[in-house]
Chain A
Amino acid sequence: MKNKKIIVIILYSLPLPVLFLSLFIGPSDMASVSSILAFFKHLIFSGNSGNAETFQTVQAILWDVRIPRIILAFLVGGALSISGSSLQAIFRNPLVSPYILGLSSGAAFGAALALAFAFLPVQVSAFLFGLLAVALSYIAAIKHKNLSIVSLILSGVIVTGIFTALLTVVQFLSDPFKLQSIVHWTMGNLHNASWKLLSSSYIPILAGVIILFLMRWRLNVLALGDEEARTSGINPSREKIIVLIAATLASSAAVSVAGIIGLYGLIVPHMVRMMVGPDNRQSTILNFLFGGTFLLIIDDFSRTAAGFEIPIGVITMLIGAPFFLYLMKKTNIGWEN
């Protein structure tokens, strides 16, 4: 019990230092740690002990490149994690991620379509097709006004298949140059981060996150089962749709700016649950905070580890998967049957 409290405190206080330290990380030689520190000194004490031109470069790198990227990485990671954990609760299933209802393949197809034919901004197209895929899965699964989780997961698999096939068609029709950018998009990366990208995605992300945060305790009730929820006074179908819409909104917006960051929305909720337990009152917000912080750390790594930038989706897959398997073997993952 005591350990858990310490973990919770750490999780709450982790984001700020990581956000701050990430300012110092990047491939540019112009913005070395010492020159950034000199810049901060200049900013705070307004001393004149430095080169004004360097300060301008540092400011440009920090303000135009790093800060938007840091915020975007945090929001994307937080959105995927909080959506994943909420969906796992309402589906009562450990294998659920924000991509389960075809969101990722729909968004990939939308992005590819826009990259190949330039009829819409890539981000907008990815966002809309992501929503479309989820809506299709949902409509396909609904029967006599009833929503069965099994049919929802099945229709998600089918819709994913359809959009993956359509994506292949677009790729087939595209010239090699466009094909390259499509493939790059699907790998997931944050290197396009800018204030513009951020400003077009933060509203749906935050709206979704706030709704899920408000629903945090109701997720506990829903996680217990439909019958139990219904007889204790809440309408499970209605509440599930609210959660589904909020999670889809947030994760669609995240995918539309960052591409497909694989496994993330599946793994982080499990990590958080292992650390603080299954009570969604606590884990919902911690999923957002830890999910954001952890993706930021991964992104810091991805832009400095190699001489080139490794797509972040590849890293989450390559590092996340084995790490997750290790945790799964070592701790009780908490899923009976």
Chain B
Amino acid sequence: MGELNTAISIQNLSFSYEKNTVLLNASAEIETEKLTIILGKNGSGKSTLLRIIAGLLPFKHGLISISGKELKTMNLSERAKTFGFLGQKHKAVFPFTVEQVVLTGRAGYINFVPKKSDVKVAETAMYKVNIMHLKDRIYTELSGGEQQLVMMARVLAQEPKMLLLDEPTTHLDFCNQIKLLTLLKELTMQKLTVIAVLHDPNIAFLYGDDFLFVKNGTLERPAEPIKPWSAEYLKTVYKHELQSVPYAGRALIVPDIIQQKQNDR
């Protein structure tokens, strides 16, 4: 991977909450304009990694550079113009309209009050996520899935170079999951670097360009000839009996229920 194509470079990153070490000497490079998917068990540190890159968790050990620039030297507004971060849960309190919520994504560009051009950008973002029909609805009255799409539009209104998405498919029904992943693919064509934490390896392997696994506090990218969707490899990640069913050049991952039944006998 050449220096030019590296969006994010992580070197020897260590992080712990109080005494609980989550990441230990994790290193990886993430390519530009690709859909990189981070997979791993619950509590393995996927979200932590994303939150560190987004600047929400200060870290002491290691080095992260963004397109060659050290993350720690970037100020809030620089970060906002680089990363769009979509967190796992958002609890709204005020009955803002969808448009008002999406517009707040422009905060990094606005001194006091948004201009007409900001409203335009917000509208374009809503259009991309296909929620223009919700524009004047009250955010707090929407379903969880619709709210998720609104927050996605809000992040796009930020006009970032990279998207950091923490489980963006939660709350979305099957169809909307597919639509969202298709949108993420489209965004990479429009020169965005998209990094998403996903729970579902199937959706990941169907749409992702590149896969990073969080394993025992480190970041791992299986090297050729090991395929990330091979059952043998995924067993080491999820510590569970899995079967890999070939599909579309890659594979679908299912729990190995045949094996399990035999074991039960």
Binding site for B on A (CB under 8 A): 89, 92-94, 214-218, 220-221, 223-225, 227-235, 277-279, 281, 332, 334-337
Contact = CB atoms under 8 A, between A and B. Distances in A.
B95 A224 contact: no
Interface stretch (B76-84, B182-190, B207-215): B76-84
Given A223-B94, A334-B94, A336-B140, A217 B158 contact: no
A336 B92 contact: yes
A40 to B, nearest CB: 40
A277 B76 CA distance: 30
Contacts of A233: 76-77, 79-81, 107-109, 158
21 contacts: A220-B100, A224-B104, A227-B56, A227-B85, A228-B154, A231-B85, A232-B104, A232-B107, A232-B108, A232-B158, A233-B76, A233-B79, A234-B108, A235-B76, A278-B95, A278-B96, A279-B96, A279-B97, A335-B94, A336-B92, A336-B95
Nearest to B99: A279
Contacts of A231: 54-56, 79-80, 83-85, 87
Given A217-B110, A217-B113, A227-B56, A232 B105 contact: yes
B71 to A, nearest CB: 14
B79 to A, nearest CB: 7
A220 B104 contact: yes
Contacts of A235: 76
A281 B99 CA distance: 13
Nearest 5 Cβ contacts at the A-B interface: A233-B108, A233-B80, A231-B85, A278-B94, A334-B95
Contacts of A228: 87, 90, 104, 154
Contact of A227 (B76, B87, B96, B106): B87
B247 interface: no
Contacts of A277: 95, 97
Q: Mostly helix, strand, loop or mixed at chain B's interface?
A: mixed
Nearest to A229: B107
Contact of A234 (B76, B81, B140): B76
A217 B76 contact: no
A335 to B, nearest CB: 7
Interface in B12-54: 54
Contacts of B108: 232-234
B91 interface: yes
Nearest to A213: B112
Nearest to A279: B100
Contact of B104 (A215, A221, A227): A221
A211 to B, nearest CB: 11
A234 B93 contact: no
B198 interface: no
Contacts of A224: 90, 92, 96, 101, 104
A136 to B, nearest CB: 27
Q: A217, A223, A230, A231 — which one has the most chain B CB atoms within 10 A of its CB? A: A231
Nearest to A232: B107
A215 B100 CA distance: 16
Contacts of B54: 231
B62 interface: no
A218 to B, nearest CB: 7
B255 interface: no
A238 B107 CA distance: 14
Contacts of B158: 232-233
B114 interface: yes
Contacts of A332: 95
Nearest to A219: B94
B232 to A, nearest CB: 38
Nearest to B93: A92
A131 to B, nearest CB: 26
Interface string B52-68: 00111000000000000
Contacts of A92: 93-94
A278 B93 CA distance: 10
Given A215-B112, A216-B113, A228-B104, 18 more contacts: A216-B112, A217-B110, A220-B103, A223-B94, A224-B101, A224-B104, A227-B56, A228-B90, A230-B56, A231-B54, A231-B79, A231-B85, A232-B106, A232-B158, A233-B76, A234-B107, A336-B92, A336-B95
Contacts of B93: 92-94, 223, 335-337
Nearest to A217: B113
